[in-house]
Chains A and B, each alone.
Chain A
Amino acid sequence: MTKVQNNRAWLLILPMLVLVAFSAIIPLMTVVNYSVQDVFDANTRFFTGTEWFETMLNDSALQAALLRQFAFSMTILAIEVPLGIGIALLMPKRGWQASAVLILITLPLLIPWNVVGSIWQIFTRGDIGLMGWGIRELGYSYNITRNPVDAWATIILMDVWHWTPLIALLCYSGLRAIPEAYYQAARIDRASRWAVFRYIQLPKLTNVLVIGVLLRFMHSFMIYAEPFVLTGGGPGSSTTFLSQSLTTMAIGQQDLGPSAAFSLIYFLIILLVSWVFYTAIMNMQKDDATGGHRHDA
């Protein structure tokens, strides 16, 4: 669509801008302000320059949390994206069954995040939880408060349970937009099921998958409530992710300067990685568009 040049459009933007600026710019300025000062009390503060940033970047506990965070985000993306696509392919296309499946699949997305933690806390307990009990009955001494591997696996499983529906719904809506003629042509061309997926469905899913991967990356990188309720970050600090480290530092210990510096680094990492994801996917699409040099044979 060709857009009209019109600077009065700013008037339409203005109310939105005021609100978002109030919620985003003022607090962000506060954070920047703290990050370069050492605050003792309301009247005593020193300018520290980049000192807090250096401290934070060299903090081994935070480095470990950052690594854990990346490991977590990549793992859940690697599981949720293929699984979500698979589920979307299985979903019925029309009729009451389609509505029913849609409603059921959306359920986990609408549960408050700490309740998700509670649900899994109950579900995985060895004494009263179905899953915890079941795994123990199978002969494995499953314990998420003692064994870091169990805690990790459970948190991954919880996130997969919680968020795969988002990918599935995104892909489902992408699949629904493919005209029936494509499938019919593919049948007539004797395409295998795999070829239909690879050459018809997957290309049409790129757009929604870009959105899905970005959303999932961002949200998983900010995860807080679910592991906080389920494991409290433990055992030890094996499931302590960045948001929890930050909250502990800022609210629990009131370390304003360091936590502000940490906040900014944290935010920048998300922006940077999102940007890398986005440009990488867009470049892939551009390659597609301008015609790569696929071998003819």
Chain B
Amino acid sequence: MTHDATTRQDARVSPSTGTSPSVASAATAADESPRLERARARRRGGSVGRSRFLLALYLILMLLPIYWLINMSLQSNSEILGALSFWPREVTFDNYIGIFTDSNWYMGYVNSIAYVSMNMLISISVALPAAYAFSRFKFIGDKHLFFWLLTNLMAPPAVFLLPYFQLYYSVGLFDTHIAVALAHCLFNIPLAVWILEGFMSSVPKEVDETAYIDGYSFPSFFVKIFIPMIRSGIGVTLFFLFMFSWVELLLSRTLTATNAQPIASIMTRTSTASGIDWGTLAAAGVLTILPGIIVVYFVRNHIAKGFALGRT
């Protein structure tokens, strides 16, 4: 009788004492069943390997021109113009040293960074409230206004070249950082409003209402609660603002002469009567890529969402 009870208890307890897949506890009814046939999959998945291969191929092809630029930047002009070599045989940093010791050169970077930062600051601070208005309220002319904003994204900078030149010249802003920063607002503010509106619309309106009930005023709610909620959206927006201001040439070149000249337009100086200074051109080019790498590194985790502009 007692013996009977024990076995039953063991049988009951066993499923839950199987703490790890040890061989010992595998003694179950299944082992007594007839021999099992092991089914083999008809299709084999080799597609992951293939897609990695194709992707690697694309990345290598994509990086080749950049590699070549770096390769050139580490060679002296005589080596560049000599026999073609796939890597620098005598690595030299002279091209970089030349740029960093000549204020005409390095001021170009300072100028570019100055107007890009100004533009980012101006754009984001006026776009944040505007995007909030578009995402939360209906008001007279809202749809037309939004559409008009987007048309500014489509305006070719070349169209505005001459009027800008005359406008900034007449108000005495020609050849200043702020001139370029303001000019870039033409496309950067609409872009910022567009992206931020997408991110803000994905924040439920109940958040706003709860905050007002809790006694927040609009400014304190906006700064303390709302902005932290769309942090990643703001990060992504800044990334895009940086990108479009940093890469633009036409307006920044036209609105500056010497004091605020961007690096991109200083680079045209490498071409002189005695030929092109390839090494310096390449080194200057490499240096223009670096800020972009730093910025993209900071937003790398938000980029995937950011490129959907908050809309997926």
Chains A and B touch (C-beta atoms under 8 A apart):
yes
Find the B residue at minimum CB distance from A165: B62
**A16 interface hit (Cβ, 8 Å):** yes
**B39 interface hit (Cβ, 8 Å):** no
Collect the chain B residues with CB atoms within 8 Å of residue A110's CB: 242-243, 246-247, 289, 291-293, 295-296
Q: How many A-B residue pairs have CB under 8 A?
A: 292
**Contact of A270 (CB < 8 Å), options: B154, B183, B193, B263:** B154
Q: How would residues 126 to 155 of chain B score, 1 for a CB under 8 Å from any chain A CB and 0 otherwise? A: 110110111111111010010001011111
**Contact of A271 (CB < 8 Å), options: B127, B154, B167:** B154
**B307 interface hit (Cβ, 8 Å):** yes
- Bound complex: CA A127 to CA B158 (Å): 34
- Asked if B186 and A20 make an inter-chain contact with CB atoms under 8 angstroms apart, the answer reads yes
Collect the chain B residues with CB atoms within 8 Å of residue A99's CB: 300-301
**B156 interface hit (Cβ, 8 Å):** yes
Q: How would residues 163 to 194 of chain A score, 1 for a CB under 8 Å from any chain B CB and 0 otherwise? A: 00100011011101100000000000000010
- Asked if A247 and B250 make an inter-chain contact with CB atoms under 8 angstroms apart, the answer reads yes
- Asked if A87 and B55 make an inter-chain contact with CB atoms under 8 angstroms apart, the answer reads yes
Collect the chain A residues with CB atoms within 8 Å of residue B291's CB: 110
B interface residues, Cβ below 8 angstroms from A = 47, 51-52, 54-55, 58-59, 62-66, 68-69, 72, 80-81, 84, 86, 122, 125-127, 129-130, 132-140, 142, 145, 149, 151-164, 166-167, 182-183, 185-186, 189-190, 193, 201, 204-205, 242-243, 246-250, 254, 263-265, 267-268, 278, 281-282, 285, 288-289, 291-293, 295-297, 300-301, 303-309, 311-312
**What are 9 A-to-B residue pairs whose CB atoms are below 8 Å?**
A1-B204, A1-B205, A23-B186, A31-B159, A102-B296, A119-B285, A131-B65, A169-B304, A218-B154
A interface residues, Cβ below 8 angstroms from B = 1-10, 12-13, 15-17, 19-20, 22-24, 26-28, 30-31, 34, 87, 89-92, 99, 101-115, 118-120, 122-123, 127-131, 133, 161, 165, 169-170, 172-174, 176-177, 193, 204, 207-208, 211, 218, 221-222, 224-225, 242-243, 246-247, 250-251, 256, 259-260, 263-264, 266-267, 270-271, 274
